[in-house]
Amino acid sequence: MIWLPKVGSHIFLFAAIKFVYCIRGLIYVKLIIMYYNKLELDNLGLASIGSNVLIDKTVLIHNPNLVSISNNSRIDAYVILSGKITICKNVHIAAFSFLNGGKLGITVSDFSGFAYGVYAFTSSDDYSGSTLTGPTIPTKFKKTNEKEIIIEKHCIIGARSMIFPGVKLSLGTAIGAMSLVTRSTLPWKIYFGIPAKEIKDRSRDLLLLETEFLNEQ
């Protein structure tokens, strides 16, 4: 609820609305300015980078020599990329997501996307208590589960979801928001929950749009 003075309240309301829209405009301009230009992208030291790639300047990239990004992909503000990561064509990684590819890697295939705050990890410590944990401990004193993550074409992962080591999201998989994906999925299914479970089939109509889109390129 917004408190407005009784005298000339409509003027205050108009001013408040105008101020909000001005702020929105400033944020929009800032986002445009914050993307790296072509020269800056080339100087990031990535393993490879395609054309028409947008990476926000707040993105943190550890081991950039292990990161490959293909054409028409976009990575938004405050994303963290770590380890071996392959991002294919027309991929979108939304703000505040974290991809930890480690040594084995994460592959995000064409036309797939992460919504806000999605986490994907290829390695995890042993939580049973039988070993020590954490990055400060030598390998011989701990047990780490390390497995590759593969995300096939046309997958979409809802906000605040988490992908565990070894998971393969098959072609056309959709993951609902705030889901915990611990097992690989079947093609063209929608999953949701903790842990994520199959909910229903997903439409394949988008394949017709993909063909139309590619024919226009």
Distant-in-sequence, close-in-space partners of 48: CB < 8 Å, separation ≥ 6: 68, 69, 70
In a domain, 211, yes or no: no
- pLDDT reported for residue 138: 92
User: Which candidate, 180, 154, 177, 182, places its Cα nearest to that of 166?
Assistant: 182
**Radius of gyration over every alpha carbon of the chain, rounded to an integer in angstroms:** 21
User: What is the separation of C-alpha 36 from the centre of its chain, rounded to a whole number of angstroms?
Assistant: 18
Distant-in-sequence, close-in-space partners of 5: CB < 8 Å, separation ≥ 6: 12
In a domain, 11, yes or no: no
**In this predicted model, what pLDDT tens digit does every residue of 43-77 receive, in sequence order?**
999 999 999 999 999 999 999 999 999 999 999 99
Contact 125, 169 (CB under 8 A): no
- Residue 196 DSSP symbol: T
Structure confidence at residue 34 as a pLDDT band (50, 70, 90):
confident
User: Structure pTM?
Assistant: 0.82
User: Which candidate, 72, 79, 29, 73, places its Cα nearest to that of 57?
Assistant: 79
In a domain, 12, yes or no: no
Q: In the predicted model, what is the mean pLDDT of residues 169-179? A: 98
In a domain, 130, yes or no: yes
CATH at 74? 2.160.10.10
**In this predicted model, what pLDDT tens digit does every residue of 177-206 receive, in sequence order?**
999 999 999 999 999 999 999 999 999 999
Q: In the predicted model, what is the mean pLDDT of residues 157-176? A: 98
In a domain, 209, yes or no: no
pLDDT of residue 14 exceeding 90, the answer is no
Q: Which domain holds residue 147?
A: 44-203
Structure confidence at residue 4 as a pLDDT band (50, 70, 90):
very low
Q: How many domains does the chain have?
A: 1
In a domain, 112, yes or no: yes
Q: In the predicted model, what is the mean pLDDT of residues 167-186? A: 98
- Alpha helical stretches, state H, the chain: 9-34, 38-42, 206-216
- pLDDT reported for residue 7: 43
In a domain, 23, yes or no: no
CA distance 39 to 23: 30
In a domain, 20, yes or no: no
